[in-house]
């Protein structure tokens, strides 16, 4: 593999790492920021939510731009739009400034998912599964760094300095991209509204979107509530980290298998059933079996996520619209993380136990994963 190809897969991993690093790095700072800026829990919640709003809304327009002008041009424009707000928020001394910088940060971050399939397709069109798995592991490592490393850094330096350190990652990424990124793909698709409506009329888009809703919703719900579930089970909370490990390993492993496996529908079906069994197992196991179920639930869900994200780069029918397709399914996929965690908490309040909540997640996974598997080839 030549140097330019190696750079492409490196950039895919680095940029996906940057997305989750910047997006989730404020979570461990909640008490520090709330105390300094005299914020309520609701006000702090808006700090994360407002970035998600701009990110979700603008993924589709960025998808159009990436198909039209190519991913190199789009990321040359968007990486500075990520870097500047990342720096500004680290100097924010008012709540309003922080909110505005978060909103602007989301605008730039929205470009990443539509561009990643285009990078992978040029890296190696015969190994899109492995390439997708590599950048999915970048998400996992970015998330793990933001949530795992940040608390330790906060013991050594102020929270603004930590954000400046993470902004430096964005600066380096931007400089590397402007200096080294090259592509033979210059964009060929027409920037037209009818192309968007044609995509929405394709049944396969809604299969992929449903799978994204289930994957993102189930994983985020388990990640949000696992410490509480372990507490209710009177188990130690440290096994919750196995969700991140499953996220890290599930992408490249499933991606590599996908490149050699002829039937994606069978693979999705197998992973779906295995994920459901693992989720139910979390409710009824303890100790080592519980740890295995937590890891496998994350591993199998991430596997289906990888197959779903691979599809826009893999399928010839979307060869000129991979950016738009990725923008659509990743944007609408956020329905899951919005709805499922709230439903999980409601069921705990209503029933007084975590069993019904985990069963709800398992049923959502079962219905969508199995239907998605059955419709994958036909769609």
What does the pLDDT look like over 123-164, one tens digit per residue? 888 888 899 999 999 999 998 888 888 889 999 999 999 999
Residue 285 has pLDDT above 90, yes or no: yes
pLDDT tens for residues 268-284? 999 999 999 999 999 99
Residue 219 near residue 247 (C-beta atoms within 8 A): yes
Residue 133 near residue 306 (C-beta atoms within 8 A): yes
Query: In the CATH scheme, what is the homologous superfamily, with its name and number, of domain 193-376?
Result: MFS general substrate transporter like domains (1.20.1250.20)
Confidence of residue 87 (pLDDT cuts 50, 70, 90): very high
pLDDT of residue 16: 95
Residue 374 has pLDDT above 90, yes or no: no
Confidence of residue 365 (pLDDT cuts 50, 70, 90): very high
What are 309's two structure tokens? 């994200």
Q: Residue 259 CA to chain centroid, in angstroms?
A: 21
Residue 165 near residue 86 (C-beta atoms within 8 A): no
What does the alpha-carbon distance between residue 188 and residue 64 come to, in Å, rounded to a whole number? 11
pLDDT tens for residues 319-347? 678 888 888 898 988 888 878 888 888 88
What does the alpha-carbon distance between residue 105 and residue 85 come to, in Å, rounded to a whole number? 5
DSSP string, 293-308: HHHHHHHHHHHHHHHH
Instruction: Give domain limits for the chain.
Output: 3-180, 193-376
What are 361's two structure tokens? 């997640």
More confident residue, 159 or 223: 159
What does the alpha-carbon distance between residue 272 and residue 214 come to, in Å, rounded to a whole number? 10
| Topology at the third CATH level for domain 3-180 | Growth Hormone; Chain: A; (1.20.1250)
Do the first three CATH levels of 3-180 and 193-376 match, i.e. the same topology?
yes
Q: Name the residue with tokens 């989301």.
A: 106
pLDDT of residue 378: 67
Contacts 24+ apart (CB under 8 A), 201-205: 202/317, 202/379, 203/375, 203/379, 204/311, 204/315, 204/317, 204/379, 205/325, 205/328, 205/329
Summarize the confidence of residues 154-183 as an average pLDDT. Answer: 95
Q: Specify the pTM.
A: 0.88
Residue 216 near residue 309 (C-beta atoms within 8 A): no
pLDDT tens for residues 33-84? 889 999 887 788 788 788 888 988 899 899 889 988 889 999 999 999 999 9
**What dihedral do alpha carbons 118, 122, 123, 128 form, nearest 10°?**
60
Rg of the chain taking only CA atoms, in angstroms: 20
Confidence of residue 194 (pLDDT cuts 50, 70, 90): low
Residue 117 near residue 239 (C-beta atoms within 8 A): no
């Amino acid at each position: 593999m030549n140097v330019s190809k190696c750079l492409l897969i490196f950039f895919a991993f680095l940029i996906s790492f940057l997305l989750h690093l910047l997006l989730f790095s404020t979570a461990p700072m909640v008490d520090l920021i709330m105390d300094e800026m005299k914020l309520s829990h609701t006000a702090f919640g808006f700090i994360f939510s407002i970035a998600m709003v701009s990110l979700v809304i603008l993924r589709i327009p960025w998808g159009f731009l990436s198909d039209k002008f190519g991913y190199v041009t789009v990321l040359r424009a968007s990486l500075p739009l990520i870097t500047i707000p990342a720096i500004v928020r680290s100097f924010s001394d008012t709540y309003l400034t922080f909110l505005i910088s978060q909103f602007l940060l989301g605008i730039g971050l929205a470009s990443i998912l539509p561009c990643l399939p285009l990078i992978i397709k040029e890296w190696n069109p015969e190994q899109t599964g492995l390439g997708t798995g590599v950048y999915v592991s970048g998400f996992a490592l970015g998330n793990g760094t933001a949530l795992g490393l940040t608390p330790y850094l906060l013991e050594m330096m102020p929270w603004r300095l930590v954000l400046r350190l993470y902004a430096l990652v964005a600066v380096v990424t931007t400089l590397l991209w402007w200096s080294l990124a090259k592509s033979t793909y210059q964009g060929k698709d027409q920037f037209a509204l009818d192309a968007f409506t044609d995509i929405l009329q394709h049944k396969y888009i809604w299969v992929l979107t449903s799978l994204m809703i289930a994957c993102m919703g189930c994983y985020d719900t388990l990640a949000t509530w696992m410490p509480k579930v372990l507490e209710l089970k009177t188990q130690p909370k440290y096994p919750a980290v196995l969700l991140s490990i499953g996220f890290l390993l599930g992408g490249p492993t499933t991606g590599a298998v996908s490149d050699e496996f002829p039937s994606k529908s069978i693979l999705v079906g197998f992973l779906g059933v295995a994920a459901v069994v693992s989720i139910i197992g979390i409710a009824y196991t303890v100790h080592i079996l519980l740890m295995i179920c937590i890891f496998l639930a994350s591993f199998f869900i991430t596997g289906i996520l990888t197959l779903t994200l691979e599809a826009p780069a893999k399928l010839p029918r979307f060869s000129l619209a991979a950016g738009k397709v990725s923008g659509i399914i990743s944007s609408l996929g956020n329905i899951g993380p919005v709805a499922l965690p709230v439903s999980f908490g409601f069921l705990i309040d209503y029933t007084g136990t975590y069993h019904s909540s985990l069963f709800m997640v398992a049923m959502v996974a079962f219905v969508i994963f199995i239907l998605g598997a059955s419709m994958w080839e036909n769609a």
